[in-house]
Amino acid sequence: MTLEDGNSLSAVLPNTQPMESEYNFYLLVADMFRNGYVRYEVRFTTLALQVAPAGIDTLPLWSNIVKGLTDLALYDDAYATLMQNPSETQFVLKFT
């Protein structure tokens, strides 16, 4: 992301942190859609997962995607995403 793009995004998005990468941008947008627009939250979380830098713990992203797909009653997609999780550890989904 260029400096000019980062400055432009910082000017219009409600965030105090600078946009340093696509990963941070996708996480911010996913968070903006968290309450009420689950489909878009899932989409932007998936995009963040695709561009996540090496060394970042992506387990919470996988969990958010699976939970969102389940909330949307896309059970086959949720199961497929759960099986794609590259982590050897299991994660627990909390449904509230």
Spatial distance between the Cα atoms of 38 and 55, rounded to a whole number of angstroms: 27
> Residue 42 — pLDDT band, cuts 50, 70, 90?
very high
> Residue 49 — pLDDT band, cuts 50, 70, 90?
very high
Is pLDDT of 90 > 80?
Answer: no
> Does 90 fall in a domain?
no
85 neighbors 62 (Cβ within 8 angstroms): yes
Measured distance between the N- and C-terminal CA atoms of the chain, rounded to whole angstroms: 37
> Does 51 fall in a domain?
yes
Q: Which of 45 and 2 is assigned the larger pLDDT?
A: 45
* pLDDT of res. 20: 75
Mean pLDDT of 60-82: 93
> Does 76 fall in a domain?
yes
Torsion of CA 19, 24, 96, 86, to 10 degrees: 180
Q: Which of 18, 26, 32 is nearest to 61 (CA)?
A: 26
pTM of the entire predicted model: 0.75
> Does 91 fall in a domain?
no
State how many domains the chain has.
Answer: 1
> Does 12 fall in a domain?
yes
Domain range for 54: 3-84
> Does 11 fall in a domain?
yes
> Does 67 fall in a domain?
yes
> Residue 22 — pLDDT band, cuts 50, 70, 90?
confident
